[in-house]
Structure 1
Amino acid sequence: MALPDLTLSLQFGRFAGVDAHRSALPRHSVARWIRHALDLDGEITVRIVDAEEGQQLNREFRGKDYATNVLTFDYTQSPIVMADLVLCAPVVAREAEEQGKTLAAHYAHLLVHGALHAQGWDHETGEEDAEEMEAREIEILARMGIANPY
């Protein structure tokens, strides 16, 4: 099965410890993780930010005044998926440590999660939708040899 095409922009903000995040996110891996989650071709920007930028974006666009792990800004879902995925490096690093995961494995999960959001999946609309989205994430990650993130 051929994977969808992806035009990827991978951006890193300037923050302490950025090199560890760059190392965990080689471009070919980021592209692979996202392509496995796409049902259609995509144009996606991934931006890795510090806590301040993550909190500002979450406050401005979701009305929640804290930095979250991933924010998805989806612009179109057909005929291609166009989206920005913003991941907050300190939150991702803290969660990876708390969950006993490698930084790369946690980023893989969150990028798959964000790519699904960009295609209309939503775990906040009800328990059934959340279970369906989690099952899809587990399936996608398993195809790439990544353990169940839950």
Structure 2
Amino acid sequence: MRAALAAEMAVPLDRTFSLRQVRSIREVRELSPVIELSAITFPSGSAAIQPDQSRELAILGTAIKDLIVERPGEVFLIEGYTDAVGAAGYNLALSDRRAETVALALTQYFDVPPANLVTQGYGESLLKVQTLEAEQANRRATVRNITQLLC
């Protein structure tokens, strides 16, 4: 996990971006490797992390904290997603809460400084499994180290 979080971008950059650009432009975000938190999925309509998912969260929290100790300026984007069930506006707000829940857990339980975390929900815009039905794999969170993208 630590190696994945510290990984360099596949394509060298000749420019940087604002945080707003990183959050809102998919092609910019995708310049940075994504880490799927496959063990962290959410119940339908919920932003709560389940107790049985704490191991993956612990691995992530420890890796991020250790990396920040070495490189204090690192910035991580926590992304939240939903499945396609429900209204798009509700799903967007729910995905924001999911990203915030992961970030809050990282700060409260693993002492990751909040200043090193940025959250963003993307609702149902990037379904992992293309279906309009309830799909647990779509109710997820991901993380990217966006430090190299930022101005």
The reply to whether TM is greater than 0.5 is no
Structure with the higher helix share, 1 or 2 = 1
Structure with the higher strand share, 1 or 2 = 1
Identify which of structures 1 and 2 has the higher relative contact order when contacts are C-alpha pairs closer than 8 Å and 6+ apart: 2
Per the normalisation by structure 2, the TM-score is 0.30
Per the normalisation by structure 1, the TM-score is 0.30
